[in-house]
Amino acid sequence: MASITGHTITVEPSAAHVRVVHEGRVLAESRRPLVLRETGCPDRYYLPPEDVRTDLLAPSDTRTHCPFKGDASYWSVPGAVDLVWAYPEPKVQVAAIRGHFCFYATEVVAG
């Protein structure tokens, strides 16, 4: 757990079964995501690259910086610009998310 002036981030393995579908196509599905909980943000699932259809993703020129997680790179699919991001070199306190992909719309599958 990292805490900087009241801002807390935790990363832990999740038993959730999560899926990402865009326009009827499954882009990712995982039963071993990491869940990142951050003060003031929704919970986010970070999926291992083996569970993501990276062949369907096109690298984007977009880059963003988070003072708590580091620099993010983005990927797009047709009709959804910058749909997914990852932290290739995350800060030490969230090192577990290195190389994992995070999508804006991830559904938790029941059962």
Q: What is the CATH number of the domain that holds 42?
A: 2.170.150.40
* Cα 58 → chain centroid: 16
d(CA 36, CA 70): 14
d(CA 87, CA 94): 10
State the pLDDT at residue 107: 76
pLDDT by residue (tens digit) across 33-88? Answer: 999 999 999 999 999 999 999 999 999 999 999 999 999 999 999 889 999 999 99
State the pLDDT at residue 7: 84
State the pLDDT at residue 62: 97
State the pLDDT at residue 104: 87
Contacts of 109 (CB under 8 A, 6+ apart): 17, 18, 19
3-state secondary structure the chain: CEEECCEEEEEEECCCCEEEEECCEEEEEECCCEEEEECCCCCEEEECHHHECHHHCEEEEEEEEECCCEEEEEEEECCEEEEEEECCCCCHHHHHHCCCEEECCCEECCC
State the pLDDT at residue 2: 53
Number of domains in the chain: 1
pTM: 0.90
**Domain that residue 100 falls in:** 2-108
pLDDT by residue (tens digit) across 31-46? Answer: 999 999 999 999 999 9
Tokens of 5: 């002036």
